[in-house]
Structure 1
């Protein structure tokens, strides 16, 4: 049975609104297409749409009520509504009220790379130790965070919240809304550089996550990052846990060995030796795992139990999921990294591919929002491609990498992923390992779909 989230009386008090009808909700949504039975639908007015136009559709789909700033013309007298001045503000107020009534231990996660992976891993290990609520997908902005908070069950023990930004000033209000007991910065890297004056600006913007950190809260920082000391200064007054391989790290990897099922790690966790296995490969996941364990300790959960569970983590769609495909010409593996990319995550994906056995093929699309140095950043990936056998590229920026590659490594280049897909398919042979990586806007998922279509196991 679904948790009761809001009664009409509670919601009206939280948003200072006027309820019509007596109702209760077991979910919250701002998308009329995603309404589940019992949801409270919030009619958000955006620049190109108005949720008020879909109130009736949401109610017919099973919504228990709708929050509106005016009564839509097609509403009936007996429709359950909550009338407010501003529906976007009401969403924020519901999130704030949900946070205020919760006794959950809350951890917030941000960073240029790895925040979704760390968030998912934290949610997975904590769910073994108590009722855990977490951000779904990448609902990490000024709409996503209050929506996530408003959906938080009253009785959950832990909440893992992802906070995202691409401009300075965006994380401060989110942090104040989340009021975390622990805050993580996974790393600082060249993401969204076009909106910042260098990496220092990105670092300072990420450090806004400490704005709402509990007075006795813990800041969890990447000790291997060049901006570790700058992040420490920003978190001054809070307990700080560093993670990584550096001597500055409190949660430190002593040794990491790739194995068939992932990586075996020997670690020193604040003076306590611990050996564990993670179900991922790549140095970035060694750091991610230490970050997760630091978060577990910061929330007072059992770190040994969490470490044991890290060996069972599932791969994430678009962020490292591995597909085993039985193509007509033989079996191949595809690593799906198509969701997003910047220089750091691109290099990490190429490192993971380099650890695989077989002909290693990289399919790379443009990395976006990298600012004035974007050409050099793309061309500069040539060293990371050294262990790769064949590199296919698409997009005007990746053309610079294509041109910088040795002739023997050049698979093909195309203006976009649609034209690249058939070129990749034609080149494949049994035993190939293909990694697909780009910013989401480059749509290399088209190449992924073309490879998945090769699978003779698919239903026709």
Structure 2
């Protein structure tokens, strides 16, 4: 199915199209290009213009460029614009403008991607669904998601992230959502913000892009909830709170055979659902998802039934059995709030020893060492038997723990991975968590390798 014709793309961007081509997709990576994709030659770690010839050879229908690259024929199928990123943004705006889809935007300090995936799964069977891939939530990820959106989409789910002030509002204005959901506000990217209040104001800027009389779905029970409410009010939004209280609330999350049997009350309607995870924080995110989907016009009972098909993505809290070991792989990222959620999940599981293997949490600003030490006083620590740690920041947690809970500590995750054989014993339940750049995922890989059952 055609996504962009040469004429449509030229009209959207104000660029000059060479050739009469049609694109069935949009890609920024020449290595994963698919037949018929429009290749966008973005400037990142490498200049995308260096890969235009390769993309065309691999089946790209055309390339979005700011010049004809060396080695590319002068009559090659191209869309030439003054600036490639601006051209992608223009495609995104045009893709959004031509659809009648109900658009749901999601942001938050923790759980954006898993919540977006949860919403996508929950909407299955209720129309044509378009959702952001992976964690495509930044200055190129949002316009790419919109540029890839088919014209006849019924529901679109857009993930919006940030690292610095001023990033969310322009992306939300580009997406123009009907519903905007904030998962939670927590200590993340503190190096760029003046505490949680500043983070809340930046996340609350997502409401600036809402359609008229749009809905703001905000977490209740947070110290910064009022800031989020003020941001929503300033945007003229309908405010729908979710949490233990509010118009959307979690009434039950009961562990049953490695899953959670949940009940929620969403604007007066009772919705029962099951999640294939033991993490109670996922149940709360599911309540936010149901509130957002209901506000977008979806059938809540059907969405609740479909939630049982959702699985936590790799590295984001999925539970797996490795022989006699149960592993919670939550190594994709970490901040104090998500670490507390992970520890609570570990503490709530029944079985053998509960072991946490933790890597540094990054981008926490001047209080980062105190924030690492404070993990020792997390209530869940009372039920955790042993903590292994990697990284100079996690050394401060390791030193703050009672001696009986101190496992191994290493300067780097790689050094800890080398000791994989000494990190667990049969019957253990293990949580592995840390910021992505801490490379704590190398410990996950090492444990999997050391615990693999030889194939006969």
TM bucket, shorter chain? over 0.9
Secondary structure in structure 1 of the residue aligned to 2:419? helix
Distance, in Å, in 2 between the alignment partners of 1:458 and 1:309 is 37
Moved more, 306-315 or 161-170: 306-315
Secondary structure in structure 1 of the residue aligned to 2:12? helix
Residue 242, structure 1, aligned to residue 236, structure 2: no
- Post-superposition offset of 1:135: 0.8
Distance, in Å, in 1 between the alignment partners of 2:180 and 2:79 is 34
- Is the CA contact 2:277–2:318 (under 8 Å) kept in the aligned structure 1? no
Residue 129, structure 1, aligned to residue 122, structure 2: no
- Is the CA contact 2:121–2:309 (under 8 Å) kept in the aligned structure 1? no
How far does the alpha carbon of each residue in 1:304-340 deviate from its partner, in whole angstroms, 9 at most, with x for none? 11111222211211101222223xxxx2121110000
Residue 413, structure 1, aligned to residue 409, structure 2: yes
Residue 6, structure 1, aligned to residue 16, structure 2: no
Secondary structure in structure 1 of the residue aligned to 2:123? helix
Distance, in Å, in 2 between the alignment partners of 1:267 and 1:102 is 32
Distance, in Å, in 2 between the alignment partners of 1:49 and 1:257 is 49
- Is the CA contact 1:185–1:221 (under 8 Å) kept in the aligned structure 2? yes
- Post-superposition offset of 1:86: 1.1
Moved more, 156-165 or 226-235: 226-235
- Is the CA contact 2:271–2:300 (under 8 Å) kept in the aligned structure 1? no
1:364 corresponds, among 358, 382, 389, to 358
Q: What residue in structure 2 maps to residue 160 of structure 1?
A: 157
Moved more, 175-184 or 371-380: 371-380
- Is the CA contact 1:135–1:161 (under 8 Å) kept in the aligned structure 2? yes
Distance, in Å, in 1 between the alignment partners of 2:146 and 2:253 is 36
- Is the CA contact 1:325–1:454 (under 8 Å) kept in the aligned structure 2? no
Moved more, 317-326 or 265-274: 265-274
- TM-score in terms of structure 1 length: 0.95
Q: What residue in structure 2 maps to residue 118 of structure 1?
A: 115
- TM-score in terms of structure 2 length: 0.96
Distance, in Å, in 2 between the alignment partners of 1:348 and 1:306 is 24
**CA 1:55–1:297: 2 relative to 1, 3 Å:** same
- Post-superposition offset of 1:284: 1.3
The runs of 5 or more residues in structure 2 that have no matched partner are none
Secondary structure in structure 2 of the residue aligned to 1:293? helix
2:18 corresponds, among 17, 20, 42, to 20
1:61 corresponds, among 58, 64, 84, to 58
- Is the CA contact 2:354–2:385 (under 8 Å) kept in the aligned structure 1? yes
Q: What residue in structure 2 maps to residue 31 of structure 1?
A: 29
Distance, in Å, in 1 between the alignment partners of 2:296 and 2:258 is 28
Q: What residue in structure 1 maps to residue 218 of structure 2?
A: 221
- Is the CA contact 1:265–1:286 (under 8 Å) kept in the aligned structure 2? yes
- Is the CA contact 1:40–1:66 (under 8 Å) kept in the aligned structure 2? yes
Query: Counterparts in 2 of 1:282-431, with a 5 A limit?
Result: 282-326=279-323, 331-356=324-349, 357-384=351-378, 385-431=381-427
1:447 corresponds, among 425, 429, 443, to 443
- Post-superposition offset of 1:42: 1.2
**CA 1:175–1:403: 2 relative to 1, 3 Å:** same
Query: What is the count of residue pairs matched by the alignment?
Result: 451
- Post-superposition offset of 1:455: 4.3
